[in-house]
Amino acid sequence: MSSGNFAVPEALLRDDRALFDFQGNRATVLSHHVNRSTQAFQTVSAGGAFQIEDIFPIIDSGRFPVKRVVGEPIEIWADVYRDGHEVIAAALVWRREQDQDWQRVPMRHVVNDRWTASFVPDHIGRYVYAIEAWTDEFATWRHGIELKQKAGQDVALDALEGAGMLTKALNGGHEALTVIQRQCEDYLQTGDVAPLLTPELRDAMAESQARPDVTRSALLPLMIDRERARCGAWYEMVPRSQSTVPGQHGTFRDCIARLPDIAAMGFDVLYFTPIHPIGRVNRKGRNNSLKADPGDPGSPYAIGAEEGGHDAVHPELGTLDDFHALVEACKLVNVEIALDIAVQCSPDHPWLKQHPDWFKRRPDGSMKYAENPPKKYEDIVNPDFTCEDAGSLWNALRDVILFWVDHGVKIFRVDNPHTKPLRFWEWLIHEVQLAHPDVLFLAEAFTRPKLMKGLAKLGFSQSYTYFTWRTQKWEIEEYLRELTGYPERDFYRPNFFVNTPDILPYHLQGGEPWMFKSRLALAAMLSSTYGIYNGFELIEHAPIPGKEEYLDSEKYEIKVRDWDRPGNIKPYIREINQARRNNPALQQTSNLRFVDIQDPNVTGFVKYSTDLTNVVAVAIALSRDFHEFWFPLGDTQVEVGGERRPVVAVENLLTGERHAVEWGGLTLRIDPQRDPALLFRCLA
């Protein structure tokens, strides 16, 4: 490849290592993993006496980073052992990728050579961590002499050996060295071994003695993101459809006017479909017709025209100054802008003239437009990532992201990333986040499960999911167990969209308000990140007959709506989002436990905050019938003042009404026509 400053990261050149199998739940982490790999991570040193293996958490043997959020404790576990009976010690060491100095904390032995430690990352960005192990020679000596004392043996010579070890301790701090000197003098003056066996000297020597056989595991990666990577409510809209005048193209100023309404519903992220100039060659008409009539705006995904490409805004939306005003207005209502990045071009995108070798042509010389047989996209051509000048193409696409970062955007939703090279995304995300670790990427990939998970592993902060089509109780619960189990919970952050401009699911096509509310509640309660596409709040549901697509899709035309028209569910959305904001248990996805509700059309679950101080119980109806059922809370507990206590009552998150828990649960009733979801805070 020819390239300007293009460089393939070292991670892409490494050989894949053996894959760990971290199945099961937290209990298995505390002891052992069934059917785990025994691949060891170690650096041989001083004879390589130590084995450091079964490290947790880890993704594909350390090939990809584990994901966490800043300020969130990270527990590290590992099996650490060596031959013989020597006493060993271990430490967890970590640093940010760009730093030189290590931070460390001692590891604690738990059981059966299983060790653990934790740390709290205080900055966002990429980290590495490792396990160190060494022989604690003084502790080994101390253990031996104590055994001899119990057996009544003479330990005078052993005491001399111990005192000699004190003279070699030079690496500790001033306080430790003071203790060592004092205890050594006491022994030399009295000849009594007791000063050598005090806990203070044990701790001082653990800090100060040499570690000639220290062994360090391989460096393992972590990605520490900001809170928005884990939790957020997304509102997707087409900016050109935000005008209040029929037939008039919306502007960024119109979008600013809509901000109070969007913020009042409780959304954190305002996500725009592409905002760039739209091509004129092969422009699509209404309902994806091949012929555009005069005045048809075309698809915003046909990016680029004579006005510019991916680093330009559609002139009818406004100017870059208008966009800056929008970004600032969003900050005032605590909403972030997310932009759609579609790596595709219209046939009249400037790049086709500037870099014709970036694109493929057919044998007759004509441009090869995009296809997903049997679908055809005559208004789109795809860059050729295998062209001779691919390095320049990669750099140009990276620079598009950096351009918008410089203009205040820190969240990007990437369209169809699974159709582009995986190594490209790994490189691009790493490049961007090295300079801007607060930038987040959402992978819009509805494709094969392993490919979706592969994109998440290599760097995408969040991922689309199959939730949109999971409707039955068994498949919802089975899918969530997959997403919240190991190893998925350590790298795959699901974003549950209930609908998109491309997808009007069959279950919403009936236009039943209870179903819209049920799907919203499921998405918002099950996942800490979810989204709706505008019009959902208005119960828009007209499909193309026989398809999961919107009739008269605004991908191909401008729409004007009355955002307060009768029948909207905006108050319900506001209540759901408020419940999420008030309860940390709903701001994470993984700490989820389904409960055994006998009704096949009601799903129930309990969610816990990471510190267990906030516990929420949820029941959601999946059919329009009236439901009465038993909700078993079982041994659910809440942390109160450092003590875990059983649940004695629940409080309705929407009404404030309280109910006592008797016989380990509650009898509940749901009338879906009024509200298909019951949300309770558990009280101890």
pLDDT for 264-312, tens place per residue?
Answer: 999 999 999 999 999 999 999 999 999 999 999 999 999 999 999 999 9
Which of 53, 444, 490, 554 does the annotation list as catalytic?
Answer: 444
Confirm whether 213 is domain-assigned: yes
Per-residue pLDDT tens over the stretch 495-552: 999 999 999 999 999 999 999 999 999 999 999 999 999 999 999 999 999 999 999 9
Quick one: pLDDT band at residue 367, thresholds 50, 70, 90? confident
Confirm whether 490 is domain-assigned: yes
Residues 381, 644: Cα–Cα separation, whole Å = 59
Asked whether residue 235 is marked as a ligand-binding residue, the answer is no
Confirm whether 12 is domain-assigned: no
Which of 213, 415, 554, 599 does the annotation list as catalytic?
Answer: 415
φ, ψ at 299 (rounded to 5°): -85, 130
Place of tokens 């390095």: 391
Predicted local distance difference test score (pLDDT) of residue 375: 76
The answer to whether 303 and 278 are in contact (CB under 8 A) is yes
Please say if 415 is a catalytic residue: yes
Within its chain, how far is the Cα of 143 from the centroid? 46
Predicted local distance difference test score (pLDDT) of residue 475: 98
End residue of a domain, out of 201, 224, 247: 224
pTM, full prediction: 0.90
End residue of a domain, out of 586, 607, 625: 586
Confirm whether 272 is domain-assigned: yes
Shared domain check, 454 and 410? yes
CB atoms within 10 A of CB 608: 22
Residues 182, 462: Cα–Cα separation, whole Å = 57
Shared domain check, 213 and 110? yes
CATH value at residue 606: 2.60.40.1180
pLDDT at position 6 over 50: no
Place of tokens 């087409």: 238
Residues 668, 679: Cα–Cα separation, whole Å = 11
Predicted local distance difference test score (pLDDT) of residue 533: 98
Residues 603, 477: Cα–Cα separation, whole Å = 8
User: Measured in Å, how far apart are the chain's first and last C-alpha atoms?
Assistant: 63
Residues 460, 444: Cα–Cα separation, whole Å = 10
Please say if 444 is a catalytic residue: yes
Quick one: pLDDT band at residue 23, thresholds 50, 70, 90? very low
Quick one: pLDDT band at residue 45, thresholds 50, 70, 90? very low
Residues 540, 508: Cα–Cα separation, whole Å = 9
Confirm whether 35 is domain-assigned: no
Average pLDDT over the chain, rounded to an integer: 92
Residues 291, 282: Cα–Cα separation, whole Å = 8
**Nearest one of 264, 349, 322 to 568, comparing CA atoms:** 264
Residues 519, 538: Cα–Cα separation, whole Å = 14
Shared domain check, 464 and 407? yes
- Range list of H helices, 171-265: 174-190, 199-208, 252-264
Asked whether residue 171 is marked as a ligand-binding residue, the answer is no
Predicted local distance difference test score (pLDDT) of residue 610: 92
- In sequence order, which residues have a C-beta less than 8 Å from that of residue 330 and are 6 or more positions away? 259, 270, 336, 337
CB atoms within 10 A of CB 25: 11
Q: Is 201 exposed, middle or buried (0-12, 13-18, 19+ CB in 10 A)?
A: buried
**Nearest one of 126, 128, 97 to 223, comparing CA atoms:** 126
Structurally, how many domains does the chain consist of?
3
* Of the ranges 11-25, 36-50, 80-94, the best mean pLDDT one: 80-94
Predicted local distance difference test score (pLDDT) of residue 28: 29
What is the percentage of the chain residues whose pLDDT exceeds 70? 93
Query: Using only C-alpha atoms, what is the Rg of the chain?
Result: 30
Shared domain check, 160 and 212? yes
Mean pLDDT across the stretch 103-123? 96
Predicted local distance difference test score (pLDDT) of residue 370: 84
pLDDT at position 191 over 80: yes
Structure token pair of residue 589: 């996805």
Confirm whether 46 is domain-assigned: no
Shared domain check, 670 and 524? no
Confirm whether 412 is domain-assigned: yes
Structure token pair of residue 246: 């029929």
DSSP codes joined into one string, 357-387: GGB-B-TTS-B-EEEETTEEEEEEE-B-TTS
Predicted local distance difference test score (pLDDT) of residue 48: 66
> If you ran DSSP here, which 8-state letter would residue 319 be given?
-
Mean pLDDT across the stretch 317-336? 98
Torsion angle in degrees (nearest 10) through CA of 480, 484, 486, 489 = 130
CATH value at residue 570: 3.20.20.80
Shared domain check, 150 and 86? yes
Helix (H) or strand (E) holding 608: strand 602-608
What is the percentage of the chain residues whose pLDDT exceeds 90? 88
Within its chain, how far is the Cα of 108 from the centroid? 28
pLDDT at position 88 over 70: yes
pLDDT at position 666 over 90: yes
Asked whether residue 379 is marked as a ligand-binding residue, the answer is yes
Shared domain check, 234 and 218? no
> If you ran DSSP here, which 8-state letter would residue 660 be given?
E
Shared domain check, 218 and 147? yes
The answer to whether 233 and 267 are in contact (CB under 8 A) is yes
Asked whether residue 331 is marked as a ligand-binding residue, the answer is no
Within its chain, how far is the Cα of 508 from the centroid? 28
End residue of a domain, out of 554, 586, 618: 586
**Nearest one of 480, 423, 481, 416 to 446, comparing CA atoms:** 416
Q: Which amino acid is at 162?
A: G
Per-residue pLDDT tens over the stretch 10-19: 333 333 322 2
**DSSP 3-state of 535:** coil
Within its chain, how far is the Cα of 13 from the centroid? 25
pLDDT at position 162 over 50: yes
Asked whether residue 284 is marked as a ligand-binding residue, the answer is yes
**Nearest one of 575, 577, 574, 569 to 512, comparing CA atoms:** 569
Residues 469, 519: Cα–Cα separation, whole Å = 10
Confirm whether 416 is domain-assigned: yes
> If you ran DSSP here, which 8-state letter would residue 504 be given?
-
Shared domain check, 308 and 238? yes
Asked whether residue 39 is marked as a ligand-binding residue, the answer is no
Per-residue pLDDT tens over the stretch 378-404: 999 999 999 999 999 999 999 999 999
Mean pLDDT across the stretch 445-463? 97
CATH value at residue 157: 2.60.40.10
Residues 592, 585: Cα–Cα separation, whole Å = 9
Shared domain check, 557 and 669? no
Query: 152 lies in which domain range?
Result: 51-224
Shared domain check, 558 and 644? no
Mean pLDDT across the stretch 156-184? 91
pLDDT at position 73 over 80: yes
Residues 89, 86: Cα–Cα separation, whole Å = 10
Shared domain check, 540 and 476? yes
